[in-house]
Amino acid sequence: MATKSALIIVDLQEDFCPPNGSLAVTGGRDIVPIVNALLAAPFFDIRVATKDWHPHDHISFAENHPPPNNKPFESFAKIVNPFNDAESYDTRLWPVHCVQGTPGAELVPELDLARIDKIVEKGQDKRVEMYSAFYDPFVNPCVSVSELRGYLKEQKVTKAYVVGLAMDYCVRATALDALKEGFETYIIEDATKAVDPKEGWDKARAEMEDTGIKFVQSTDIIS
């Protein structure tokens, strides 16, 4: 089968970037020149950007939970599958971020949008967290599915190169699901940043490498 490579730019949105993002990832905006260089590389056949795209009453927002367990970055909430109360997970709560239609939800304006073939929105269902740009973590049944899988399969993509924000949350989850969906999956290491650049980065990197995700540098692609 012919190789077809997709660049998947995860959540490169204002709310994840300094100086004003509500959930700013340290150095988040610094990856934009590298991502733009990757967007310009003939190496890729398909270029996708994802957007975290939450309703104001999303379950991941700390302020939508009663005290005392409603501290952004610290508190956790239990999320139960609305279709199956035997399935649940604990999830970290965040400041309000990437609310549909707000300036914080916009892709950063420095991004070379003209080269992007497809924008995929995710996280619209208020009942579930959705770090992965493919689907939410519930399986029995899954609650929210984005357009990403269908689009990549329709385009006959075989390799997925994942970049963007944040390495230890949405980049990680998207890459793990890309691998699960049968794509040969890569992280371009210098084109992502972590919420927790120390333990978060190391833990996510080790886990991804263990499952078979490969780590490369942008200079391996743009030469």
Identify the active-site residue in 17, 51, 122, 159: 122
Helices (H), the chain: 32-40, 148-154, 172-180, 199-211, 218-221
Nearer to ligand VGL, 11 or 38 (CB): 11
Q: Is 11 a catalytic residue?
A: yes
Residue 46 in contact with ligand VGL, rule: CB under 6 A? no
Q: Which two tokens stand for residue 162?
A: 């994942």
3-state helix, strand and coil shares in percent for the chain, rounded to the nearest 5: 30, 25, 45
Residue 136 in contact with Zn ion, rule: CB under 5 A? no
Taking the chain, what is the end-to-end CA distance rounded to the nearest angstrom? 26
**Residues sharing a CB contact under 8 Å with residue 150, sequence separation 6 or more, in sequence order:** none
Nearer to ligand VGL, 6 or 128 (CB): 128
The amino acid sitting at 196 is D
Residue in 9, 69, 62 with CA at minimum distance from that of residue 40: 9
Q: Which of 53, 61, 94, 183: binder of ligand VGL (CB under 6 A)?
A: 94
The three-state secondary structure class of 40 is helix
Residue 52 in contact with Zn ion, rule: CB under 5 A? yes
Q: Is 142 a catalytic residue?
A: no
Smallest gap, in angstroms, from Cβ of residue 170 to ligand VGL?
3
Residue 61 in contact with ligand VGL, rule: CB under 6 A? no
Part in contact with Zn ion (CB under 5 A); list of ranges 1-9, 46-54, 100-108, 161-169: 46-54
Residues 32, 21: contact at Cβ < 8 Å? no
Residues near ligand VGL, by CB under 6 A: 11, 16, 52, 60, 94, 131, 165-166, 169-170
Give residues in contact with Zn ion (CB under 5 A). 52
Residues labelled as active-site residues: 11, 122, 170
